[in-house]
A and B are shown apart, each in its own frame.
Chain A
Amino acid sequence: KQEVTQIPAALSVPEGENLVLNCSFTDSAIYNLQWFRQDPGKGLTSLLLIQSSQREQTSGRLNASLDKSSGRSTLYIAASQPGDSATYLCVTSGGSYIPTFGRGTSLIVHP
């Protein structure tokens, strides 16, 4: 059964720092990996989707990489802002078609 782990569980940084959020998964036979953002008490907002054949995706200040062979994905956030404060979740989709979520990284960016 797929297991997804996110490190760190929580992160607090000053504004302007470049950040790295990590996601690891045990079964490399995935179709895609997706990163989401969740604000407190809200639904999830899709940030980036990486197909299994891709190595990375970029959107604005966000860059996500995927290394299937090592079972890892990394979300880079450049020049962090207080508005980036949220929980970031990664999810894999594989042969079972059942998406598997990590527990998330709770990010606080303080001014």
Chain B
Amino acid sequence: DGGITQSPKYLFRKEGQNVTLSCEQNLNHDAMYWYRQDPGQGLRLIYYSQIVNDFQKGDIAEGYSVSREKKESFPLTVTSAQKNPTAFYLCARSRWRGGRGETQYFGPGTRLLVL
């Protein structure tokens, strides 16, 4: 699994519901990322975190929230404010050296569908 796991593989959200996607890594990497992938588009960064208890917004953070209470965990909550949440969500990890991230390693992804 490349040292990073995501669950669940598929997630269904009802209208107005908040849902949380799990991302866990076991290689003690500092940085973790959340991306959204839509058909025919590249990956877009939602949030990233370089260290515990700190995270930064990416290009499309509206309607999403994250936490980084532990180094190995970076859960993503899709809130009811996100009006078009149907997408494939990918989590990644990397070392953080010299003020920048290195090679990213991705999890298997979670596909979110709206009922």
**Chain A contacts to B: CB under 8 angstroms:** 4, 31-32, 34, 36, 41-46, 49, 89, 91, 93, 97-104
Q: Are B42 and A46 in contact (CB under 8 A)?
A: no
Contacts of B108 in A (CB 8 A): 42-43
Closest partner residue, chain B, to A95 (CB atom) = B100
Residue count of chain B within 8 Å CB distance of chain A: 29
Q: Are A45 and B45 in contact (CB under 8 A)?
A: no
- The secondary-structure label for the interface of chain B is strand
Contacts of A44 in B (CB 8 A): 43, 90, 92, 104, 106
**Chain B contacts to A: CB under 8 angstroms:** 2, 6, 33, 35, 40-45, 48, 50, 56, 58-59, 88, 90, 92, 100-109, 111
Contacts of A104 in B (CB 8 A): 42
Q: Are B101 and A93 in contact (CB under 8 A)?
A: yes
Q: How far is the CB of A45 from chain B (nearest CB, A)?
A: 7
16 residue pairs bridging A and B, Cβ less than 8 Å apart: A4-B42, A34-B104, A42-B109, A43-B2, A43-B106, A44-B90, A44-B92, A97-B48, A97-B56, A97-B101, A98-B48, A98-B59, A99-B33, A99-B45, A101-B42, A102-B42
Contacts of A102 in B (CB 8 A): 42
The CA of A104 and the CA of B35, in the complex, are separated in Å by 15
Contacts of A89 in B (CB 8 A): 42-43
Q: How far is the CB of A21 from chain B (nearest CB, A)?
A: 14
Q: How far is the CB of A74 from chain B (nearest CB, A)?
A: 18
B90 interface neighbour in A43, A93, A98, Cβ under 8 Å:
A43
A43 interface neighbour in B41, B102, B109, Cβ under 8 Å:
B109
